[in-house]
Amino acid sequence: MSTPQPGVFAQGTRAHFHVELDLRPGVGDDALRSAVAAWREPSAVAGDVNLVTGFGAAAWRRIAPDDAPPGLRDFDPVGDLRGRHAPSTQHDVWAWIHGPGEDAVLDAARHVCAVLDAVATPVREVTSFVYRDSRDLTGFIDGTENPPVHEAFAVAVIPGPGPGAGGSFAITQQWRHDLAAFDRLSLSEQEGVIGRTKADSVELDDDAKAPTAHIARVVVVGDTGAELEIYRRSTPYGTVSFNGLYFVAFSAEVARFDIMLARMFGTSGDGAHDRLTEFTTPLSESYYFVPSLESLAAIAD
């Protein structure tokens, strides 16, 4: 049985660091595999720091062509270029480091980038953090719909046997909030945008919840009547003047992301969009494959 990367599910860490990298031109496949194998050495993580490693579709097919799961692809833009729009900023490698403090995760991130320096260069770095009791900077609790950890494996991990078993599809998105605009709304208007109460995250009754409320757009029921769940691990980032959410989620099927994004950005065919997109703008969007521990070990072998 293949083992998911434990950092996907590790809880209780308050400091987070995300770095996305592009491969350097002309890098050979052997050099790439050697760098990834070195990256996975025990020295890469220490002091209760978790390291999750993900790869863009082309990079993973170069590293492990026989272990690419069906459906693995780059992120495609979603939405209307004249209005709500999620751009594709696909990169080759993603490292998510999370741990007890900013010093520990920065040391680990520097190590990752140093090991990969010969083959890849950082193009996006975001430090993020747990805000209060796991709230977004809008003040609403983030990830209320998340399955508990003991159920998250079935949601996030690709079942076996077959290519990619034990791994996960991941989406990363950097959103920039317009908190000034959101704060101008009354409390009831804010709750209408989200579809939950702000203080204790109780879902609004169906007759009080607009079809454009955030949770009305991202909570999706499939053809079988079961909810199409994803496993979220998002954290806020930023300063007074530049802030938002670094959204991370994992799924056993990439199609679940596609369905939710279409409903958020108004391309699902029902004429509605997610009102939350009126107060936050996506700056980056990428899909990654997060391989199992066995797949990563096979690279070193």
Q: Which position among 107, 142, 258, 274 bears the catalytic label?
A: 142
Task: Label each residue of the chain as H, E or C.
Answer: CCCCCHHHCCCCCCEEEEEEEEECCCCCHHHHHHHHHHHCCHHHCCCCCEEEEEECHHHHHHHCHHHCCCCCCCCCCEECCCCCEECCCCCCEEEEEEECCHHHHHHHHHHHHHHHCCCEEEEEEEEEECCCCCECCCCCECCCCCCCHHHHHHHHCCCCCCCCCCCEEEEEEEEEECHHHHHCCCHHHHHHHHCECCCCCCECCCCCCCCCCHHHHHCCECCCCCECCCEECCEEEECCCCEEEEEEEEECCHHHHHHHHHHHCCCCCCCCCCHHHHCEEEEEEEEEEECCHHHHHHHHC
Residue 223 among the catalytic residues? no
Q: Hey, which residues are catalytic here?
A: 142
